[in-house]
Amino acid sequence: MSGVDRERIEAATRELLVAIGESVDRAGLENTPQRVAEAYAEFFHGVGEDPLELLGEGIPLDEGDSGEIVMVRDIALRSMCEHHLLPFLGTAHVAYAPHERVVGLGRIPRVVDVLAARPQVQERLGEQIADAISTGLDAAGVLVIIDAAHSCVTARGTQQARSTTVTLASRGTFSDPIQRAEVVALISRGDAS
């Protein structure tokens, strides 16, 4: 969170409030610039962070271990659309086929969080997660599925309140349609329970 200039965000928020015709001295708004600065520091804490650092310490697989599929489903994600600076909220499912090592399961949601905590578009976010897992773990295959609702679609413009967007990014063995279908089926089993 150190890379966020809170004072500049506070000044910009004051200017924005004046630009929409509000008084920054009004009782309900007097602390808004500070609150917005705190929120933006949280929303954008991933700017400048390297997700590969989260994957550096892996657990070597014993010789003969296949490590066929490791999957973390239903990872809650929050990001900010870079086009309107409005949030998009959803779920990521991340699967990988280990090559020589695995990583602690808590590291996968942290990679998602770091990459989501910056101005983003969903399509690129999925690709970045897949690249980080593929590179950071030298994974034989990676599949990332994101299902998210975008405020720029649900709350403005077309106002499609129930609309979500689904994106898929695959690498290595999971780029094969048959292997990808097997992983997608495993992800879907979580929806039925």
Determine whether 150 is an active site residue: yes
Q: Identify the active-site residue in 68, 83, 123, 160.
A: 83
Binding site as annotated, residues for Zn(2+): 81, 84, 152
Q: Identify the active-site residue in 22, 100, 152, 179.
A: 152
Which tokens sit at 147? 């299902």
Determine whether 83 is an active site residue: yes
Q: Identify the active-site residue in 84, 100, 127, 179.
A: 84
19-28 LR contacts (CB < 8 Å, sep 24+): none
Determine whether 45 is an active site residue: no
Determine whether 122 is an active site residue: yes
Q: Identify the active-site residue in 93, 120, 122, 128.
A: 122
Q: DSSP readout, 128-189?
A: HHHHHHHHHHT-SEEEEEEEEEEHHHHTSTT--TT--EEEEEEEEGGGSHHHHHHHHHHHHH
Determine whether 22 is an active site residue: no
Contact 91, 126 (CB under 8 A): no
Q: Identify the active-site residue in 10, 81, 93, 128.
A: 81
Binding site as annotated, residues: 81, 84, 152
Determine whether 53 is an active site residue: no
- Give the residue numbers marked as catalytic: 81-84, 122, 150, 152
